[in-house]
């Protein structure tokens, strides 16, 4: 089994490459995640705007 030591040092070039890859990944458009967020927002607004359905059995005030 390979064990990583805490004293591993990155070369400057490797560090630059890793940082550039991380920055490019942040800037990449993720359509799946964007669609999911859209549907979550839409379903949240739909749930807030829909009237709450209540089921009432016998009401006390209707016995006239």
Q: Is the dihedral of CA 25, 28, 32, 34 positive or negative?
A: positive
Note the pLDDT tens digit of each residue in 5-63: 666 677 888 899 999 999 998 888 888 988 999 999 998 877 777 665 656 655 555 55
**What does the alpha-carbon distance between residue 9 and residue 20 come to, in Å, rounded to a whole number?**
18
- Output the pTM of the full model: 0.38
Q: Which residues contact 18 (CB under 8 A, 6 or more apart)?
A: 10
36 within 8 A of 28, measured Cβ to Cβ: no
Burial class (CB in 10 A: 0-12, 13-18, 19+), 3: exposed
């Amino acid at each position: 089994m390979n064990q990583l030591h805490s004293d591993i040092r990155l070369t400057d070039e490797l560090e630059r490459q890793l940082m550039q890859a991380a920055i490019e990944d942040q800037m990449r458009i993720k359509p799946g995640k964007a669609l999911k967020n859209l549907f979550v927002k839409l379903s949240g607004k739909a749930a807030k705007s829909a009237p709450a359905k209540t089921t009432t059995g016998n009401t006390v005030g209707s016995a006239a």
